[in-house]
Amino acid sequence: MLGLTVAGSYLAARHASVDRDATAASAFYRSALRSDPKNAELLDRAFISSLADGDIEEAVKLAERILTIDKNNRVARLVTGVHQIKQKQYAAAQPNINQSVRGPITDLVATLLSGWASYGAGNTPAGIATIDKLAGPEWYPIFKDLHAGLIFELANKQKDAGARLERAYKLDDSALRVTDAYARWLSRNKDAESATAVYENFDKKLARHPIVVEGIRETKAGKKLSPLVDSAQQGAAEALYGIGASLTRRGGEDLALVYLQLALYLNPNHSLALLSLADLYETVKKPQMAVKVYERVPANSPMKRNAQIQLATDLDSIDRTDDGIKILKTVITDDPKDLEAIMALGNIERSRKKFVECEKTYTQGIDASAGEAKTNWLFYYFRGICGERSKQWATAEKDLKKALELQPDQAHVLNYLGYSWIDQGINLTEAMTMIRRAVEQRPDDGYIVDSLGWAYYRIADYENAVKNLERAIDLKPEDPTINDHLGDAYWRVGRTLEARFQWAHARDLKPEAEELPKIEAKLRDGLSDDTSNAASADKKKDDGKGG
């Protein structure tokens, strides 16, 4: 950071903020602030960046400075109040939290935090009264009943706790945290069968959630499960997590980031908050930041396996593929029937053109799933792709037909198999019918529309080829292969100037290495009469990501 001017640090920080790199933004803003400590805008930006980066202790220091200038800064009040809850300074936290309100979301957060602060200060009735007097949107009651129930539970008022948790559960029996909290209460205060029934009801709606799977296993073993939270700090963290996760799903990433970071400040091992934060980073296309969060999920968490699978996928996306593959192989070794991990491994291998390896991986998935369930058409489909790409057409065709048998109208399978036949000049009538069916189902899929256009090209119907390839370009203008295909079709109908434009555009869009010399040759020499297959026919049939 040495040598940067205030202006330089500010501009670097702004760039980092636009790029959603909170770590760099925070460092640059603090650097600028050291040179211009009375600059209120720099102070505010450094504060928000530190908060977004999860450096809450630094954010607390900056919040104190902000409040000397602007005592009504709501976010600074919230951060100060959360810090005081962490320090068990419950009475001091109350006024700061109460001054952080601004709208329906912040009102709810402040009310729940205030309720937990009252409980922490030894005044459960005041905490419950604070929560109960809040009125607002129709989504308030489930949060109010859940947290009132959790407070009653820690205050050892089990009858009151059960009534509130049951009420929350009846409001929404598909809410994971409500289900978990109520089932845990039932396991201790009623019986294991009732707790198991609550978990199993959730499992029917969303099968195999790790927390629910563990709950079913433990309640069936007769265990009395501990409460969802065991302190005022954890209760406050749960409130921040619950609303932060909800905001993430609704597109409110910036505020969600603040709440999730504060939740993790209070409870660093909150697995669901960690996964929500990582998911948020993935949403804003920051996989390198998601990787750091997934690595923080505790080894003993039921969510660790899920985190490892997502971690591997993100590692692959930042070109640490070998690390991702190693993690997935460890997960699969621990559970050879983990279909999600097997699928993730196969998909990474396929995307990296490890076709022999991915064929073996998808075979493992077929074997683990007994191979016949309709939902497992994907294993056959992807294995078929790997077989075709590794020049094992006989086995690939068999797999693609099996996938189509399990899922008769699946557009991607129809497209891939039909295209492969046309590419080989066989089963032309059936193949064209299949591709048309795929386009009917997915008329806005540029890759599948490209397949239809290229199929027309392969049977020398160049007018229809042009028509469909122009449509595909409208849908996927930046795809090099579709531009290449359209160039070929233009050439065949005599539109040679436009053909050279499309080839030049395809060249500039960074086609795969083996395609570049072919495109350059066409730019130099055009298409000769016997090169109807000059463009690569197999590049965009479908890699399992689109047509």
Same fold flag, 1-71 and 422-525: yes
Instruction: Give the right CATH number for 422-525 from 1.25.40.10, 1.20.1260.10, 3.50.50.60, 1.10.357.10.
Output: 1.25.40.10
For residues 254 and 212, give the distance between their C-alpha atoms in angstroms, rounded to a whole number.
30
467-478 pLDDT, tens digit each:
999 999 999 999
Domain ranges within the chain, ordered by starting residue: 1-71, 422-525
Say what the pTM is: 0.87
pLDDT digit string, tens, across residues 295-354: 999 999 999 999 999 999 999 999 999 999 999 999 999 999 999 999 999 999 999 999
Token pair listed for 323: 């690390």
Alpha helices in 353-495 (DSSP H): 355-368, 377-389, 393-406, 411-424, 428-441, 446-458, 462-475, 480-492
pLDDT in tens, 493-533: 999 999 999 999 999 999 988 899 999 999 999 998 744 44
* Four-CA torsion 372, 373, 376, 381, nearest 10 degrees: 50
What whole-number distance in Å separates Cα of residue 133 and Cα of residue 123?
16
Report pLDDT digits (tens) over 70-88: 999 999 999 999 999 999 9
pLDDT(13) > 50: no
DSSP string, 224-237: -PPPS--SHHHHHH
Q: Which CATH number fits domain 1-71: 1.10.10.10, 1.10.520.10, 1.25.40.10, 3.40.309.10?
A: 1.25.40.10
Q: Mean pLDDT throughout 437-465? A: 95
Which residue is associated with the tokens 């607390």? 60
